[in-house]
Amino acid sequence: MSPRHHPSADILASYATGTLDPGFGLVVGVHVGSCAKCRAQVSAFEATSGAALNDLPQAQLASGALAQTLARLDQIRFRPVAPDTRPLLERLPLEPKRWVAPGVWVAAVNTPRSAEDRVYVLSVGKSALTARHEHSGAEFCVVLKGAYRDELGVFAAGDFAFADSDVNHQPVVEGDQDCICLFATEGRLKPHGLIGRLAFELADV
């Protein structure tokens, strides 16, 4: 099933041009990987970028850059690398899971933490309540497994959700499966309620 909730065009444009912060790029990349429509749009932005590349001023290269590069061609041995076909959840460099409430765990994605951005996986079981929270900055989310529902509808595997300071929502798990999502957030979340406080303060994601 193809995703029904997509990133906005400006998010896809930033992704395509390489200007999106990498944690956010990771979240968008998961969606794009499972959405043919957004992949096509990213391709259009890449073509725009390719055309723009031709118009960029030419930077001064180091003297002997060409000779140096040709020498590097000789040194490098190319060997094929087998694609990593494990599910995304297994490929993500996750910190150990922390259970923060019955049925709820959170694991930071192992990135050197910047002062403000956080990248983490949150799993919420069927009967658990999620935190109502507000955002002080942008939050990108992609559903990896299961589904949740909030004011905007049902979000299932591959669906992308964007929230910013205007949003104050309380998602609930939809269906019988645990719902596992990958998040990148900018700024500090202001969680309300017990699980929110546990997840974002005790678990230190």
Q: Tell which positions 159-178 bind another protein, by CB under 8 A.
A: none
Stretch of residues binding another protein (CB under 8 A), selected from 58-66, 95-103, 122-130, 187-195 = 58-66
Within residues 95-134, the interface with Zn ion by CB under 5 A covers: none
Nearer to another protein, 74 or 176 (CB): 74
Q: Two tokens at 193?
A: 């309620």
Q: Two tokens at 75?
A: 């040194």
- How far apart CA 158 and CA 146 sit, in angstroms, is 10
Within residues 112-131, the interface with another protein by CB under 8 A covers: 112, 119
Within residues 65-84, the interface with another protein by CB under 8 A covers: 65-66, 68-70, 72-74, 76-81, 83-84
Least distance to another protein from the beta carbon of 97, Å? 19
Least distance to another protein from the beta carbon of 134, Å? 26
- How far apart CA 107 and CA 93 sit, in angstroms, is 10
Q: What residue 194 binds from Zn ion, another protein, none (CB within 5 to 8 A, per partner kind)?
A: none
Return the amino acid letter for 58: Q
Return the amino acid letter for 94: L
Please give the size of the binding site for another protein, defined by CB under 8 A.
76
Q: What is the dihedral of CA 6, 145, 98, 30, to 10 degrees?
A: -40
Is 203 a binding residue for Zn ion by CB under 5 A? The answer is no
- How far apart CA 195 and CA 203 sit, in angstroms, is 10
| Nearest partner of 199 among 120, 135, 89, judged by Cα | 120
Enumerate binding residues for Zn ion (CB under 5 A).
6, 35, 37-38
